[in-house]
């Protein structure tokens, strides 16, 4: 069903000098970066999949292409049609790019709590952006429900439904998973990442479990305010959501259909506090020259801690979801960091990077 995605990968291989066909062809085949400083600190091998190098700037380009390709194949989207999605930002950005490249209109519903950079970028990419109050999924005014209703109200429109349309996880099963397997030569002990829709975790997890005959461990890293750590560690009890995190695009209050395709095979989960994610954000900038968003740095904290759990010599892979560009007015602002109680979490010698007031 996803032969187009597979063909793109086969044609490009992992050669950096390969030519590709348009925006879609440039999605995927991202480098796997060895994080030298962190790895040497603990005698393990920690790698980050450089998803910020996708042409739309995030891991969600893969999901966007997978969702649109799937809608086309099912005959749900015809030339000149409209793609509608509820998204905290990155999927919308990926969709806006893919829609421009394929000639579709793009309408994005998003919680109005999201960063201004992402809203502006969506508009610049030609999307019709509709910020709505940030209310829980149970509320009919939740951005996802509004996106669905709107798509149903106009002709030749599709609600791509990134949370519960498993074409999302399938895109990672067919691209991200095989890339990681090939790039590591199958030599990896564990993969860990945080989840929003769960597409990345479920798709990569399923592929790596199958290829390794169950040997590769798959872990969930959770931000504060998400229920997945307690869900996994209690053997499937879903608690009420409480608290929150500065990270964007990750954390869940339910088991989405994408996550549901894999959650029973997850080996473990733990929560990473914002203090650690923000300290890692500054640390990676200083020691590795990587300018990453907070979901990426949460993932790296988690990979580092999991590698320590698994012991010296272990090899752990995670995802570098996007760059800090989309959040820089917050993440590098002393005032904003102070307002979140996070300025003190940054080690003194790294505070020099917080250059905005």
Ligand X SMILES: Cc1ncc(COP(=O)(O)O)c(C=O)c1O
Whether 284 contacts 195, CB under 8 Å: no
Binding mask 96-135 for ligand X (x = CB under 6 A): ----------------------------------------
In this structure, what DSSP letter does residue 323 have? B
Establish whether 209 is a catalytic residue: no
Percentages helix, strand, coil for the chain, rounded to the nearest 5?
45, 15, 35
Among 30, 82, 91, 229, binds ligand X (CB under 6 A): 91
Residue in 36, 49, 60, 352 annotated catalytic: 60
Element (H, E) at 131: strand 128-132
Instruction: Tell the smallest beta-carbon distance from residue 90 to ligand X (Å).
Output: 3
Residue nearest to ligand X (CB): 249
Nearer to ligand X, 314 or 317 (CB): 317
Tokens representing residue 167 in the block = 């074409």
Instruction: Tell the smallest beta-carbon distance from residue 190 to ligand X (Å).
Output: 17
- By the rule CB under 6 A, 199 interacts with ligand X: yes
Binding mask 242-271 for ligand X (x = CB under 6 A): ------xxx---------------------
- By the rule CB under 6 A, 90 interacts with ligand X: yes
Closest CA to 265 of 326, 191, 166: 191
Nearer to ligand X, 28 or 198 (CB): 198
Nearer to ligand X, 189 or 322 (CB): 322
- By the rule CB under 6 A, 60 interacts with ligand X: yes
Question: DSSP assignment of 255-277, as one string?
Answer: --HHHHTTGGG--EEEE--HHHH
Residues in contact with 298: Cβ distance below 8 Å, sequence separation at least 6, in sequence order: 194, 221, 223, 247, 250, 272, 276, 277, 280
Please give the order of strands across the beta sheet that includes 315-320: 32-34, 45-50, 315-320, 190-193, 217-222, 268-271
Number of residues that bind ligand X (CB under 6 A): 21
Whether 67 contacts 336, CB under 8 Å: no
Instruction: Tell the smallest beta-carbon distance from residue 352 to ligand X (Å).
Output: 25
Whether 134 contacts 167, CB under 8 Å: no
- By the rule CB under 6 A, 295 interacts with ligand X: yes
Q: Which stretches of the chain bind ligand X, using CB under 6 A?
A: 58-60, 88-91, 195-201, 248-250, 293, 295, 321-322
Which positions are catalytic? 60
């Amino acid at each position: 069903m996803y032969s187009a995605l597979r063909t793109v990968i086969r044609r490009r291989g992992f050669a950096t000098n390969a030519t590709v066909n348009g925006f879609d062809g440039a999605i995927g085949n991202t480098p796997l970066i060895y994080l030298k400083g962190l790895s040497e600190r603990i005698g393990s091998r920690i790698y980050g999949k450089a998803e910020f190098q996708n042409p739309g700037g995030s891991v969600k380009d893969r999901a966007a292409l997978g969702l649109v390709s799937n809608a086309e194949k099912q005959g749900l989207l015809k030339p000149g049609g409209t793609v509608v999605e509820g998204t905290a930002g990155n999927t919308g950005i990926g969709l806006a790019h893919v829609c421009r490249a394929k000639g579709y209109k793009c309408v994005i519903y998003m919680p109005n709590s999201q960063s201004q950079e992402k809203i502006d970028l969506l508009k610049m990419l030609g999307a019709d952006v509709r910020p709505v109050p940030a209310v829980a999924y149970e509320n009919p005014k939740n951005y996802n429900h509004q996106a669905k209703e709107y798509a149903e109200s106009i002709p030749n429109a599709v609600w791509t439904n990134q949370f519960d349309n498993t074409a999302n996880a399938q895109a990672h099963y067919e691209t991200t998973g095989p890339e990681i397997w090939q790039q590591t030569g199958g030599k990896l002990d564990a993969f860990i990442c945080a989840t929003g829709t769960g597409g990345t975790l479920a798709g990569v997890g399923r592929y790596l479990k199958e290829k390794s005959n169950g040997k590769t461990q798959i872990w969930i890293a959770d931000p504060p305010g998400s229920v997945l750590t307690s869900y996994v560690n209690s053997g499937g009890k879903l608690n009420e959501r409480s608290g929150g995190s500065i990270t964007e695009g990750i954390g869940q209050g339910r088991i989405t259909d994408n996550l549901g395709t894999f959650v029973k095979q997850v080996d473990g989960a733990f929560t990473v506090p914002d203090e650690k994610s923000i300290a890692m954000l500054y640390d990676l900038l200083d020691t590795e020259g990587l300018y990453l968003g907070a979901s990426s740095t949460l993932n790296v904290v988690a990979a580092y801690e999991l590698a320590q759990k698994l012991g010296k010599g272990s090899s752990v892979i995670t995802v570098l979801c996007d760059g800090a560009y989309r959040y820089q007015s917050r993440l590098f602002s002393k005032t904003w960091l102070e307002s979140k109680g996070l300025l003190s979490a940054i080690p003194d010698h790294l505070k020099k990077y917080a250059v905005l007031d």
